[in-house]
Amino acid sequence: MPNVPRSIREAVHPVHRAGWPFITITIVLALVLGVFWQAFFWLFLISAGWMVVFFRDPIRVSPNAPGLVISPADGRVEPLVTAVPPVELGLGPELRQRVSVFMNVFDCHINRAPVAGRVTKVAYKPGKFFSADCDKASEENERNGFVLETAEGDRIGVVQVAGLVARRILSWTNEGAHVAQGERIGMIRFGSRLDVYLPEGSVIVVATRQRAIAGETVLAHLPGAAPQPPYPFRVD
């Protein structure tokens, strides 16, 4: 987009390709059904506009420093708890600090890697569809989990949890892949949460009900790390 002013490029977010089939179908329904009843036209046109917002894929400036754990999702930080990671991740039976970020249907739903490292595990588990802001959602809902191992040997669990409306979890990485901090790793349709299980000794630096930005908000420092801003960064 070389001829488009920078201010416009920054204000208008691109739409992720995963959203275009839904947007196209909704616009076609608006045009076809609108012939029979005008209310259908406006209903589906408004729905298409909402989907453009839902599937937006904004550029993010990610802190890119060893020892930082950044948010994998846009949304609200849920109450901070200690919990045993899902058994399918193979992280052991010990309690870990868990930071959860709840995404409502108006949040950007692109999920990003909280740390740089190797994907040592990807595990999907079918389940129920309780509201994603309930504690039992982490244990009983459909989910897809990743284990990321940093160059320093820390292992972090990242779990995509489906919600009441969410019925499709998308994963864009595989076991053995190396991901950059802030890299896109998946998304969930429509409304859900991300759980991050931290190694023992990590220091959480966010608060309950704080708004988090995927790929930008620092959630925690890993054990023994105390990185100080300004951080190096990557733009993606």
| Catalytic residue list | 192
Q: How far is CA 73 from the centre of its chain?
A: 3
What token pair was written down for 50? Answer: 């909402």
Taking CA atoms, 1 is separated from 8, 10, 20, 31, 201, in Å, by: 10, 11, 19, 29, 45
Q: For the chain, how many residues are written?
A: 236
CA atoms within 13 A on the CB side of 82: 9
Distance CA(202)–CA(220), nearest Å, equals 7
Distance CA(32)–CA(152), nearest Å, equals 57
Q: Which one-letter amino acid corresponds to residue 188? A: I
